[in-house]
Structure 1
Amino acid sequence: MKTTYIKLSLSAVLLLGIYSCKKGEIVSTEYADQMTTDSAAVSVSDSISSVANMAVKDKQFIKTADVNMEVNDVYEATVSIEKSVQDLGGFVTRSSLRSNVISEGTYNTSNENAMMIKKFQTENSMQVRVPTGKLGELLSLINNKKLFLNSRIINAEDVTSDIKYAEMEGKRIKKTGENIEQLKANKDKVKLDNDNMAEGNLQQLANLDVTDQLKYSTVDIYIKEPKLRIAEIAVTNTSSMDNKYKFNFIYDAKNAFVEGFYLIQKIAVGLITIWPLLLILTAILYFLRKRKLARPESTKISGE
């Protein structure tokens, strides 16, 4: 079963390499042969950096690229790049196409119609992954879509020593596990065994990640259009519609009459609410008036 995994994928080989030095050697040899075969199968123009197709004996590289360029039509270029990636056996992990509106205005063309004018610029930020042996071919296809190349960065990180170190770590973890097995069963043994298994799992995860990055190169692509585009969108003349329904005399007069009736009701209710104050005020006015009427009579009696 283990031999079958070795033949099927590099990932399984790296996992088995944790437990065997001999199998670890098979990992390096098999992947180096694969890189050599893939590179020989690709024919790329001299305009693409040799880094994209570099293959060195007994060396393994994680390759990445970053492309920033201007194209005539972002949407068309996006569709073409995505199709090229799929044809090469890769896949798209991110594609963020958007239009940035620079200005916008609406102009009336009749009482009912208007035209909205938008000035915008379209751009897309993409991330794709392609088999490492096809990286140069993909960069060549992308290059064919450019109007102007702002920048192109290609990296090849040598991870040969990291892979060798992972193999040695796998042997160490295996040896530690064997030593733990010889200990007497107790709580400390359980903890040691659990910690060793956790470390082994992390090592396997790291090996899988490296294997994936060796097999597939990551390419970040940013494309935009050099000039503004203009969109003409037919819309309704909202100003005319607002004027049409802004004022209705019969309807507004009816509402005013009803609101006036409600206002009278509110005033009446308000007066009823403050009836104690009104009663006190009425009593005060009554006594003041009575006193004022009584004062002239007193003055008349004194005069006589």
Structure 2
Amino acid sequence: MKTTYIKLSIATALLLGIYSCKKGEATASDYEVSASADSAAVSKDISSVAIMKVKDKQFIKTANVNMEVKDVYEATTSLEKSVQDLGGFVTHSNLQSNVFSEETFNTSNEEAMLVKKYQTENTIQVRIPTEKLGEFLTLINSKKLFLNSRVINAEDVTASIKYAELEGKRIKKTGENITQLKTNKDKVNMSDENMSEENQQQLANMDVADNLRYSTVDIYIKEPKLRIAEIAVTNTKNIDNKYKFNFLYDMKNAFVEGFYLIQRILVGLVTVWPIVLIVVIGFYFYRKNKSNNRIQQRKEQNSAS
């Protein structure tokens, strides 16, 4: 029961409503997006793709900007505020500082200075009303020190919208045919599959309608050179040296530990007393046997002489 339109990408399966038999059909006008951007307000150095309007055409627009700015944090807050002012929203923002080196310099017995060399960057993704895309790209351009790259895409999805409309009619007709069948297990399965297709199409419709209304802009910004951060900290090396060794305290502990060592040795000997006893008895008989052998040898020598 699955049809080929389900295999299409949700991003390109542009959507004209496939509603249930009781809801009626949607038309292409349901997905028309206002393109009344004021071209005069858009800087000339912004690609015409961002503000392009073609009669009877529908475009999903996206942009990707990679640039260097003077201050990443200031640029981030400014861009995020601009997004809100233009009626958009931020979906991702990952600001971080990459530390390349850090070193501590002692300035006194108690104080030191931690010096870090770092570079700040941020990866941002925003959704901006499509009619405001050109204006927003102009705002981004005003923040740059150096533009590494900028990509603007306008995907023509007019044919996909028409295809989705035709598929909607087909699914509606299929649903009407299913209702006329005699109720049995096969009818239930076909009805379930048809409803599943309808749900997927409606989900795709909402997704594409959203992509038509809002353009996605991915922004990567970083600072061109390393920054230096000087942070006052405690002189830990001097503190370590101060408490590293205490002669009287360590001598007292050594004496106590030595006393405990003797106790542990005595306890150990008591624990193995059977082995000690066997060794003592064995040594006693060994000495006694050796002494008897010497006496016997002397007697033999005396009798021989």
Q: Normalized per residue, which structure has more helix?
A: 1
Question: 1:270: Cα distance to partner?
Answer: 1.7
Cα displacement (A) at 1:300: 4.7
Q: CA deviation at 1:43?
A: 2.4
Verify the 8 A CA contact 1:51 1:156 in the aligned structure 2.
Answer: yes
1:41 and 1:190 map into 2 onto residues whose CA distance is 55
1:267 maps onto 2:255 in alignment: no
Q: Which residue identity is paired with 1:181?
A: T
| CA distance, structure 2, for counterparts of residue 251 and residue 193 of structure 1 | 87
Aligned length in residues: 287
2:287 is aligned, of 286, 289, 292, to 289
Shift of 1:145: 0.4
Residue 27 of structure 1 pairs with residue 30 of structure 2: yes
Moved more, 287-296 or 159-168: 287-296
Show the counterpart of 1:10: none
Correspondence for 2:145: 147
Q: Say whether residues 1:205 and 2:203 are aligned partners.
A: yes
Give 1:106 shift.
0.6
Q: 132, 135, 147: which one pairs with 2:133? A: 135
Give the alignment's TM-score, normalised by structure 2: 0.89
Q: CA deviation at 1:18?
A: 8.1
The one-letter code matched in structure 2 to 1:27 is: D
Within a 5 Å distance, the mapping from 1:37-116 to structure 2 comes to 38-40=36-38, 43-116=41-114
**Which gives a bigger RCO, structure 1 or 2 (Cα 8 Å, sep 6+)?**
2
Shift of 1:287: 1.7
Q: Structure 1: which amino acid aligns with 2:29?
A: I
Letter in structure 2 aligned against 1:15: G
The answer to whether the 8 A contact 2:18-2:25 is kept is no
> Which deviates more, 283-292 or 217-226?
283-292
Question: Which residue of 199, 211, 216 corresponds with 2:214?
Answer: 216
How far off is 1:180 after superposition? Answer: 0.2
Percent identical: 66
Question: Contact 1:71 / 1:146 at 8 angstroms: preserved in 2?
Answer: yes
Partner SS for 2:199? helix
Letter in 1 for 2:212: L
- Equivalents in 2 of 1:169, 1:262: separation in Å? 90
Do structure 1's residue 186 and structure 2's residue 184 form an aligned pair?
yes
- The Cα shift of 1:267 comes to 1.1
In structure 2, distance between residues paired with 1:14 and 1:218: 22
Residue 172 of structure 2 corresponds to 174
SS in 1 for 2:27: helix
Cα distance in 1 for partners of 2:180, 2:298 equals 134
Q: Decide whether the 8 Å contact of 1:42 with 1:134 is kept in 2.
A: no
3-state DSSP of counterpart to 1:15? coil
SS in 1 for 2:245: coil
Structure 1 position 25, deviation (Å): 4.2
CA 1:296–1:186 in structure 2 vs 1: closer, same or farther (change >3 Å)? closer
Cα-to-partner distance string for 1:16-62 (whole Å, 9 max, x where unaligned): 6787997414336xx16x22xx2247621211000000010000000
Q: Could you say which residue in structure 1 is the equivalent of 2:5?
A: none
Task: Indicate yes or no: 2:121 matched with 1:123.
Answer: yes
Greater shift after overlay, 294-303 or 211-220?
A: 294-303
Corresponding residue number in structure 2 for 1:3: none
Q: Distance in 1 between matches of 2:47 and 2:20?
A: 35
Q: In structure 2, what is the Cα distance between the partners aligned to 1:74 and 1:52? A: 25
Change in 2 beyond 3 A, CA 1:212/1:134: same
The answer on whether the counterparts of 2:18 and 2:172 sit within 8 Å (CA) in structure 1 is: no
Q: 1:298 Cα shift? A: 3.6
Separation of aligned partners in 1, 2:124 and 2:230: 28
Equivalent residues of 1:120, 1:228 under 8 A apart: yes
The answer to whether the 8 A contact 2:110-2:235 is kept is: yes
Q: 2: CA distance between counterparts of 1:268 and 1:241?
A: 41
Equivalent residue runs for 1:157-168 within 5 Å = 157-168=155-166
Cα distance in 2 for partners of 1:264, 1:159 equals 90
Q: 3-state DSSP class of the match of 1:39? A: coil
Aligned-pair CA distance for 1:276: 1.8
Query: Please, what TM-score do these two structures have when normalized by structure 1?
Result: 0.89
Q: Return the letter of the residue paired with 1:55.
A: K
Matches of 1:296 and 1:40, distance apart in 2: 126
Distance in 2 between residues matched to 1:25 and 1:239, nearest whole Å: 73
Which residue identity lines up with residue 284 of structure 2 in the other structure? Y
Aligned residue for 1:154, secondary structure, equals strand
1:256 aligned partner: 254
Partner residue in 2 for 1:15:
17
